[in-house]
Amino acid sequence: MNPGGTVRAAKSDLGAIRWEFGDFPYGLEFLVLPPAGHAAAVFPKPPPVLPDCDPHFALSQVRILSKGGPGLVSADAGPSAEGLFWFRWITGHQITFLIWRFMGNLLNGRSLHCLDDGEATVLQTYIDGYSAMLVYTASCPREIYHSLIRPRMYDQHPGFSGKWAPDYAPVRRFFRSGAVADSVETRAADVAQAIKINREVHDDVAAWLVPDGRSLLQHAAEESPVGLSPRTALLYDNFFMTLRSTIDVDALIAQLLHRIRPALIDVARHGLYPHGRNIACSVGESVRPSAVECEDRFGQVIADVAHAATLGNSAKCLSASE
């Protein structure tokens, strides 16, 4: 763990960008988020794990890294396959949680019709970023998911589920509201298309990782139902190394940039699919165009998320989105 880790990267003799996250390449760090839903604050003030961040410098590096290519990054010793995909699973989910927070903060309980054109564009950027992170976290070979990731979730709880994610509630409500699909406005059509792509990517990821379609929660429900509670929120946060405390938007931005940077370094060095493409449509072996576009634009989409979050938010205390 790198308590005072800085986003400002060191340079190798060749000028390549070096890894600056965790105690070692592909190590993990704690994420700090505000309270949400059943997830209460457990620290009266932010724990000393927040990164220092020069957002303008970080954004410039993210833009460079988004172009891709192994020559951009230093040739440190690579991780094992298990280490690489465990990093992607945990850190990719942490980036997703931060994207959800920014989406919830932007919506603030409002419908799409209450957003101006600029806000709607930023919302679409966040949805696209969420889709990109679905691909990133699920880029592991199926055998690694079933031998490494799924057993660890099961050990945390036999019914472990993404439905327990405390920060997803406002996003879920917005996606299910139906107001976007019913609108004839151009901006609503763009957001609706982003949501459609997100659902397709989510379905393709699920079909790849769990071809029988049975989640841990569905298996557990056969024995006893598992409802949302402070306990499930704590179990979920614990698994993804997430702490809860009152923090401001600047701290969220710093943590987002601090994670996007190593994710882009990872993809620049190893590619999105180090072991070959995984995410295939559940019908046949073809890949849906939406998934291909999400893959092809991965670096640009994540850079756009960093830009939108950094330049679209001012320093203010972020209240809980329930």
Is residue 316 very low, low, confident or very high in pLDDT (cuts 50, 70, 90)?
A: very low
Calculate mean pLDDT across residues 110-134: 92
CA distance 299 to 129: 10
Calculate mean pLDDT across residues 274-297: 67
The reported pLDDT for the residue numbered 77 is 66
> For 144-165, how does the pLDDT look when each residue is reduced to its tens digit (9 = 90+)?
999 999 999 999 999 899 999 9
Is the model's pLDDT at 7 over the cut of 50? no
Alpha-carbon distances, residue 302 vs 148, 216, 275 (angstroms): 26, 29, 22
Tell me which residue of 6, 5, 45 sits closest to 248, measured CA to CA: 45
DSSP state of 163: G
> For 190-200, how does the pLDDT look when each residue is reduced to its tens digit (9 = 90+)?
899 999 999 99
Calculate mean pLDDT across residues 116-123: 92
DSSP state of 212: T
Calculate mean pLDDT across residues 175-180: 75
The reported pLDDT for the residue numbered 281 is 41
CA distance 52 to 4: 6
Question: Is residue 312 classed as helix, strand or coil in its secondary structure?
Answer: coil
Is the model's pLDDT at 202 over the cut of 60? yes
> What φ, ψ does residue 189 adopt, rounded to 5°?
-65, -40
Q: Is the pTM of this model over 0.85?
A: yes
The reported pLDDT for the residue numbered 280 is 45
Quote the percentage of the chain above a pLDDT of 90.
Answer: 56
